[in-house]
Structure 1
Amino acid sequence: MKILYYVSSHGYGHISRSYEIIRKLVTSSAVHSVTIASDRIDFIQDNPAKISLRKASLDVGVFQRDSISLDIDVTLQHLEAFEKNKNSLMEAEAEYAIQEDFDLILSDSASLPFIIGIEAKIPTIFIGNFTWDYIYSNFGKYNPNFSVIANILKIEYSFATSAFILPFHCPMDGFMEMHKVGLVGRRSNLDKESARAKFNFNKHKKYFLFSFGAYGLKDIVWNWESIPDDWIIVCSELAGFESDQILNIPQTYYPDLVRAVDFVVTKPGYGIISESIYAETPIIYTDRGDFAEYPHLVQTLEKSHPSSYISQTDLLRFSFSECIAKIQDTDRNKLTKLALNGESDILALILQIF
């Protein structure tokens, strides 16, 4: 089986989880190869057998000023330009899929690959926890053109042969066939003590990992003087987040860092939530703008993992004490356990259906 796997270029969450799925797929003798098509292929640093990389972008996503604020106007401009050129892109991708003789097309989470599949007569699978029509329909209150585009995308999604739905999912009613799968995400092979030793963490200090993904934290004024002496702010090459009070740990396997720290400080996104759950590291989360996925992430997060909300005002002051107290008071026995190992679920479903 030759698989063409389209991955959204929006942030890092799509490519990080998709790569975990792909690594699982190529362990099967039934899978001959997987071609990853994305603008985020630079995220992949190794060179595994049976996997090839191809630069391509089949969705717009949402443009962001930084990781906690959206740029709605720029998003619409790019969406409208994409729609104008969509037919030629679809035809070129369908011709490529036919020439390369792919047996299956997967998409996390663009809608256009399902039209490509119809054109190339290749079955298709959606993988994700939201669809872009759901995100853009929420923006219709800012400009009606978002609603028009959302309706187009919803039709495109309906052509998927099947849909594999991840945890933390938004409403999805446009697919003909749906299967719920377990959590997908990167994970560390280290226990907590070994991870802390890897980074030479001091057992008498609390470590807070600031994890704000692909878009960084730009032009934000932080109250560095308010950080207690026994708290250490940690990041790994976070754009725009600079101070001599930050412990920056570059070029490391990120799930090991998530495992090592005491708390992850973030805006809710699928990738960092899944990695924190696998690492068993509590989350302090803040707002991320009017992104329709947010309430669904937060709702499941609060039911299934030690976590606490912090306002952006308190975030800038590093006022974590109340969040820490809430997390420490969490009765973990009352938390809902999520289904894990979604990568294995997906491989099993593909082998069963196709």
Structure 2
Amino acid sequence: MSRPTLYVAITNHGFGHATRAAAVAAAVKALWPEVDLVMATTAPQWLLDEYLPVEYEYRPVAFDIGVIQPDSLRMDLPATLAKLRSIQSHQQATVAAEAAYLKQRKVDLVLADIPPLATAIAHAADIPCWMMSNFGWDFIYRAFGPEFTAIADWIGDCFRQCDRLFRLPFHEPMTAFPTLENVGLTGGTPRYEPDALRTQWQLQTPQSRTVLLTFGGLSLQSIPYHRLAQFPDWQFLTFDHDAPDLPNLFKVPRQGFRPVDVMPLCGRVVSKPGFSTFSEACRLNLPIVTITRNDFAEGPVLVNGMQDHSWHQVLTPDEFFHGEWDFLRQPLHPPRRTQAIAKHGNEQIASAIVNYLADPNHSP
């Protein structure tokens, strides 16, 4: 009997989709180590390795573009639209080529986060396509204006072919999907004891005055690090190795550490709106300070959902980039809802996948 094979297709946009999909893939392997994994993404392999410390096949292919961005906040919409039209025009050849690979590889199930063409690729290979996300790309592109309408309609048609959607928290309605089920938060789990890291890195500041600054895989070019001088009794952590050398700014080593690994050291995280950062912080009950991002449709949805379930502060870009950072001295706002948010999305999705793969009749 051949080993069951799961093919995970990950959208070509930022790092967050890759980390949350890899966390789910790791949960699948934990439940059933015999499952073969194919990770289909152009996200760097070192990133997957940080969340998926098991054997898998790395297949560096891309079926979508997300949004072309020079950094974590700026977007190049004309280049994005041109690339999307190119992807659409090559759809038939792309689908045929990857469906042939799925058949050759004897893939049993596709899990996509959340390239639209994954549905067509899976069905051309006569296997189901399940998806996981808190938004669809049709929702994002439609908000960019009428020139994106035709593309958004095409993507909505792709999503209507999805066999099963796991809808993550902090979501938009995702009305294009015919079959959906809500699941809990996804993400990684810290791998280190906080006290051991504090000793190793010689961090003396208490947790309440330790802050993680993280802005996703693309980072930012204009973080106002000079503001940190106003807080000499605070400790700041960053993964930005281009940051200036400051006495109260510690640069986390590049290898072996993820934002979630250092979150337990901190009293809050300062970030842009990003599902994976918000999700991992909420899983650890870590307060979130975020910048608003109203030019990207997911931004207000994420910030609104985060305010419901996390201690928080919400800043305008002007307050963050040009203000005095007085927000660090202000009290945090409590979550707006008292009902706890579900935190076991990894396990929920992985269990559904393993149950399907283990069923000889492959009943969903």
TM-score (norm 1): 0.90
Q: Which residue of 2 aligns with 1:348?
A: 351
Out of 189-198 and 129-138, give the one that drifted further: 189-198
Q: State the alpha-carbon separation in 1 of the partners of residues 80 and 204 from structure 2.
A: 43
Q: Are residues 74 and 242 of structure 1, via their aligned partners in 2, closer, same or farther at CA, if it must alter by over 3 Å? A: farther
Aligned match of 2:185 in 183, 186, 196? Answer: 183
Aligned match of 1:145 in 143, 147, 159? Answer: 147
Aligned match of 2:128 in 123, 139, 142? Answer: 123
List structure 1 runs of 4+ shifted beyond 6 angstroms.
none
Give the aligned residue type for 2:326: S
Q: Conserved in 1, the CA contact under 8 Å of 2:205 and 2:234? A: no
Q: Which residue of 2 aligns with 1:295?
A: 300
Q: State the alpha-carbon separation in 2 of the partners of residues 209 and 318 from structure 1.
A: 19
Q: Conserved in 1, the CA contact under 8 Å of 2:205 and 2:233? A: no
1:176 shift after superposition: 1.9
Out of 176-185 and 245-254, give the one that drifted further: 245-254
Q: Conserved in 2, the CA contact under 8 Å of 1:126 and 1:160? A: yes
1:129 shift after superposition: 0.7
1:220 shift after superposition: 5.9
Is 1:321 matched with 2:326?
Answer: yes
Listed one character per residue, the Cα deviations across residues 173-216 of structure 1 (whole Å, up to 9, x for unaligned) are 12221111111011214565455444322135822221011212
Q: Which residue of 1 aligns with 2:29?
A: 26
Aligned match of 1:157 in 159, 166, 171? Answer: 159
Where 2:6 maps in the other structure, the secondary structure is: strand
Q: State the alpha-carbon separation in 2 of the partners of residues 30 and 210 from structure 1.
A: 35
Q: How many residues align?
A: 348
* Pairing 1:29-68 to 2, within 5 Å after superposition: 29=32, 32-42=35-45, 43-45=47-49, 48-68=53-73
1:242 shift after superposition: 3.5
* Pairing 1:211-290 to 2, within 5 Å after superposition: 211-219=214-222, 223-224=226-227, 227-237=230-240, 241-244=243-246, 246-251=249-254, 252-254=256-258, 255-288=260-293, 290=295
Q: Are residues 194 and 317 of structure 1, via their aligned partners in 2, closer, same or farther at CA, if it must alter by over 3 Å? A: farther
Q: State the alpha-carbon separation in 2 of the partners of residues 9 and 336 from structure 1.
A: 34
Where 2:217 maps in the other structure, the secondary structure is: helix
Q: Conserved in 1, the CA contact under 8 Å of 2:225 and 2:244? A: no
Where 1:65 maps in the other structure, the secondary structure is: coil
Is 1:207 matched with 2:210?
Answer: yes
- The RMSD of aligned alpha carbons is 2.4
Q: State the alpha-carbon separation in 1 of the partners of residues 33 and 246 from structure 2.
A: 51
Q: Conserved in 1, the CA contact under 8 Å of 2:227 and 2:325? A: no
Q: State the alpha-carbon separation in 2 of the partners of residues 221 and 307 from structure 1.
A: 20
Q: Are residues 291 and 261 of structure 1, via their aligned partners in 2, closer, same or farther at CA, if it must alter by over 3 Å? A: same
Give unpaired runs (5+ residues) of structure 2. Answer: 357-362
Where 1:213 maps in the other structure, the secondary structure is: coil
Give the aligned residue type for 2:237: V
Percentage of matched positions with identical amino acids: 25
Q: State the alpha-carbon separation in 1 of the partners of residues 42 and 234 from structure 2.
A: 37
Give the aligned residue type for 1:156: C
Q: Conserved in 2, the CA contact under 8 Å of 1:195 and 1:256? A: no
Give unpaired runs (5+ residues) of structure 1. Answer: none
Q: Conserved in 2, the CA contact under 8 Å of 1:154 and 1:174? A: yes
Q: Conserved in 1, the CA contact under 8 Å of 2:129 and 2:162? A: yes
Give the aligned residue type for 2:171: H
1:311 shift after superposition: 2.0
Q: Are residues 204 and 176 of structure 1, via their aligned partners in 2, closer, same or farther at CA, if it must alter by over 3 Å? A: closer
Q: Which residue of 2 aligns with 1:82?
A: 87
TM-score (norm 2): 0.88
Q: Are residues 316 and 11 of structure 1, via their aligned partners in 2, closer, same or farther at CA, if it must alter by over 3 Å? A: same
Q: Conserved in 2, the CA contact under 8 Å of 1:223 and 1:318? A: no
Q: State the alpha-carbon separation in 2 of the partners of residues 221 and 265 from structure 1.
A: 13
Q: State the alpha-carbon separation in 2 of the partners of residues 269 and 225 from structure 1.
A: 23
Q: Are residues 219 and 30 of structure 1, via their aligned partners in 2, closer, same or farther at CA, if it must alter by over 3 Å? A: closer
Where 1:39 maps in the other structure, the secondary structure is: coil
1:161 shift after superposition: 1.1
1:313 shift after superposition: 2.3
